[in-house]
Amino acid sequence: MHELFKVGNKILTTLEANGYKGYFVGGCVRDHHMQRSINDVDITTDALPDDIERLFERTIDVGKEHGTIIVLIDDTTFEVTTFRTESGYSDFRRPDQVAFTSRLNSDLERRDFTMNAMAMDEHFQIIDPYGGRRDIAERVIRTVGRAEERFNEDALRMLRAARFSAHLEFQVAPETERAMAEHAQNLEYVAVERCVVELLKLYRGPGVKAAKSLMVETHLKDHLAFLENIRDEDFLDTEVHSLENEIALQMWRNPELRRHLHELKLSNDMKKEIQSTTGLIEMIHRPATVKELAYSHDMKILENASAIMESNAFSELEEKRERIQSAIDLKPHLPISNIADIDLDGKMLMTFFNARGGRWIRKVFSAIETEILDGNLENDRKKIMEWVDAHVEYEAGDIKIIEE
Ligand code: ATP
Ligand code: MG
């Protein structure tokens, strides 16, 4: 039995001991049934949020009005959510009303796909009123109830269908796919952040290629920020395994796309990563040395670019691939990995030249950086100051480097 279920069982038995019902639910039941690995375990119960808080020692309120309380057991977190129904989705993205219910089946009914609408009790008995196991056996993604209705309620579910198809390499049921094609444009009502969460997951699945075809065929792609600007044939012919690399590669191929990057509302770190990857692919098309490639980019970026070059067509591919691989090999052996690693600070230079700070300090650092990277100078404070003494002349706020 998976450790998470073992620990989670403590929650189920506590609920039962107090006269409530509790079940494992959703993705963990699907993955358990499919004998896939399990990352987190969600629990559904007829206990109300206040009851849940009362029954367990350590809880965190993460959305009581929606019925969700986090329960901590042995430092593992479990989302425990009260059975609920949802109704009145007038904006294609969230229910106008959430109501608690005492019936498990009503809670399962609101869930997106049959395979996600199963519950499991503490004896590992599966409750499966909508044919989740049958669809899993047939490797089919099917909405609970009529697909049009379900996608009208929450358009994100269409993108989730594509995400699950990438992850599980399942087909979308014909009527579900037809409804996706019909309702694709409702995706525009969904917050871009929610779409990005699904897209990030989609790209990590083994079936990303098929999922991208599905997104093109159903036109989901045409209603997603940023992606809508990529030509279908450009979107389909890349071989990438992260959203970041997709964007980086597409932006390199078509610089027009760069002005749309902000529309995805990604974190600054992620934007920077993508832009650096695009920049590195650009750099590799210029006569940059291996050392320049290695020094100018973080390992993560080198690896992104390497993964992109590995499986996508580029001119003179072999040579470029080798250069990026050499840069990855060289990177850990560089004497410094950026200018901040230099064993010196600006104050020492100011004292040495008895001068005030200014742009000249940056110039000295830059000269030292080159010497160290070229292997002419050790990254050692004393050695560096000797080099400065011999090679740098300071005069009235500026410096001159004396070549040997
Ligand atoms: P993963 O293993 O990737 O986390 P998951 O099935 O657990 O997959 P979550 O996004 O964590 O997916 O959602 C948990 C459960 O909540 C789902 O299994 C499903 O039952 C339900 N669910 C999530 N989002 C929706 C939605 N938009 N509409 C209906 N039900 C949903
Ligand atoms: Mg989950």
Residue-wise pLDDT for 140-180, tens only, equals: 999 999 999 999 999 999 999 999 999 999 999 999 999 99
Residues of the chain with pLDDT > 90: what percent? 86
Tell me: the pLDDT tens digits for 168-212? 999 999 999 999 999 999 999 999 999 999 999 999 999 999 999
Tell me: the pLDDT tens digits for 209-235? 999 999 999 999 999 999 999 999 999
Q: Look at residue 362 in the predicted model and tell me its pLDDT.
A: 93
- CA angle in degrees (0–180, nearest 5) for 164-215-137: 35
Q: Residue 267: is its pLDDT beyond 70?
A: yes
Rounded-to-integer distance, Cα 228 and Cα 231, Å: 8
CA dihedral sign, ordered 367, 369, 373, 379:
positive
Average pLDDT over residues 361-386: 95
Nearest ligand by distance to the CA of 112: 1
| Test site for ligand 1: of 108, 111, 142, most ligand atoms within 8 A of the Cβ | 111
In this structure, what token pair is assigned to residue 73? 């057991």
Q: Residue 342: is its pLDDT beyond 90?
A: yes
Average pLDDT over residues 282-304: 93
Average pLDDT over residues 37-55: 96
Distance from residue 15's CA to the centre of ligand 1 (Å): 23
For residue 78, what is the enclosing H or E element?
strand 76-82
DSSP-assigned beta bridge partners for residue 137:
none
Q: Which amino acid is at 85?
A: T
* Mean pLDDT estimate for the chain: 94
Average pLDDT over residues 52-72: 94
CATH code for the structural domain at 3-138: 3.30.460.10
Q: Domain limits of the chain? A: 3-138, 141-224, 242-334, 339-401
Confidence band (pLDDT; 50, 70, 90) for 316? low
Nearest ligand by distance to the CA of 163: 1
Taking every pair of C-alpha atoms in the chain, what is the biggest distance, in angstroms? 87
Residue 358, number of CB atoms within 10 A of its CB: 13
- Atom 2 of ligand 1, nearest CA residue: 27
Specify the length of the chain in residues: 404
Do residues 170 and 138 touch, judged by C-beta distance below 8 A? no
Distance from residue 40's CA to the centre of ligand 2 (Å): 6
Instruction: Point out the ligand 1 atom lying closest to the alpha carbon of residue 38.
Output: 2
Fold of 141-224: Hydrophobic Seed Protein (1.10.110)
CATH code for the structural domain at 339-401: 1.10.246.80
The backbone torsions φ and ψ at residue 143, rounded to the nearest 5 degrees and listed phi first, read: -70, 155
For residue 44, what is the enclosing H or E element?
strand 42-45
Residue 66, number of CB atoms within 10 A of its CB: 15
Distance from residue 113's CA to the centre of ligand 1 (Å): 9
Rounded-to-integer distance, Cα 237 and Cα 101, Å: 48
pTM for the complete prediction? 0.90
| Test site for ligand 1: of 113, 115, 116, most ligand atoms within 8 A of the Cβ | 116
CB of residue 331 inside a 6 A radius of ligand 1: no
Q: Which amino acid is at 92?
A: F
Q: Residue 274: is its pLDDT beyond 70?
A: yes
Tell me: the pLDDT tens digits for 89-112? 777 777 777 889 999 999 999 999
- Give me the torsion for CA of 196, 201, 202, 208, rounded to 10°: 140
CB of residue 107 inside a 6 A radius of ligand 1: no
CA dihedral sign, ordered 288, 294, 299, 303:
positive
